[in-house]
Chain A
Amino acid sequence: KQEVTQIPAALSVPEGENLVLNCSFTDSAIYNLQWFRQDPGKGLTSLLLIQSSQREQTSGRLNASLDKSSGRSTLYIAASQPGDSATYLCAVNYNQGGKLIFGQGTELSVKP
């Protein structure tokens, strides 16, 4: 069964800290992996998309890595800010145009 797991479920850090969110998947034959952010009561905002042939993607203070062999991806957030507080979701796609399989999310709180 294809499953995606995210740890930790919740994380609280002081402003300015660098942090890492983890995502693991049971089937390593992925097509791509996508990280999303969700604010309370809102839809999902795409942060980074990593194709199966890539090892990392960067956007501003965000860096996502992918290690297919170990079935893991990490989202690194540098110099965290209170505005980064949200739930971060990892989703794996096994076929182009196919459905996403989501992790349970990590709820991040950055304290001023």
Chain B
Amino acid sequence: GAVVSQHPSWVICKSGTSVKIECRSLDFQATTMFWYRQFPKQSLMLMATSNEGSKATYEQGVEKDKFLINHASLTLSTLTVTSAHPEDSSFYICSARDPGRGGYTFGSGTRLTVV
């Protein structure tokens, strides 16, 4: 099946700095990718839908200027957490639709810790 590669798997950054998370579709093109956030012991919360060549669509309550999404190619979407603060510490996961089998395939996630 289709594979989505997400990097880094974990990152620790200082408060006030920015962090970029990459999500790549391997061996397939993804015109749309999805970014989720997950708090401990909770389910996934959709943050935004990333569209290749156009602006991302953000869910209600998600700050566009805080979470910058860029989908510059058919195989790469990036999420940049700008001016990170401890409350941004979380698990971030990306996903894309599997064109071969249908359904969705997910990246391995990124654990962000802001100190």
Is the A/B pair a real complex?
A: yes
Q: By the criterion CB–CB under 8 Å, are A49 and B111 in contact?
A: no
Q: By the criterion CB–CB under 8 Å, are B43 and A42 in contact?
A: no
Size bin of chain B's contact surface: 20 to 34
Choice from B1, B6, B49 contacting A46 with Cβ under 8 Å: B1
B113 on the A face (CB < 8 A): no
Contact A49-B102, Cβ < 8 Å, known A43-B6, A89-B44, A104-B43: yes
Summarize B's interface: helix, strand, loop or mixed: strand
Q: By the criterion CB–CB under 8 Å, are A44 and B106 in contact?
A: yes
A78 on the B face (CB < 8 A): no
A51 on the B face (CB < 8 A): yes
Residue of A whose beta carbon sits closest to that of B91: A41
Contact A102-B43, Cβ < 8 Å, known A43-B93, A97-B32: yes
Contact A99-B42, Cβ < 8 Å, known A44-B93, A51-B102: no
* Chain B 35-72 interface mask (CB, 8 Å, partner A; 1/0): 00000001110100100000000000000000000000
B22 CB, nearest partner CB in chain A, Å: 14
Q: For the complex, what is the distance from the CA of A104 to the CA of B14, rounded to whole Å?
A: 31
* Chain A 62-104 interface mask (CB, 8 Å, partner B; 1/0): 0000000000000000000000000001010100010110111
Contact A46-B109, Cβ < 8 Å, known A99-B49, A104-B42, A104-B43: no
Q: By the criterion CB–CB under 8 Å, are B43 and A49 in contact?
A: no
User: Please, which residues of chain B bring their CB within 8 A of the CB of A99?
Assistant: 34, 46, 49
Q: By the criterion CB–CB under 8 Å, are A46 and B103 in contact?
A: yes
User: Please, which residues of chain B bring their CB within 8 A of the CB of A45?
Assistant: 106
B15 on the A face (CB < 8 A): no
B105 on the A face (CB < 8 A): yes
Excluding A43-B109, A46-B98, A104-B43, 17 further A-B contacts by CB distance (< 8 Å) are A32-B103, A34-B103, A36-B106, A41-B91, A43-B106, A43-B107, A44-B95, A46-B1, A46-B104, A89-B43, A89-B44, A93-B104, A99-B49, A100-B34, A100-B46, A102-B43, A105-B43
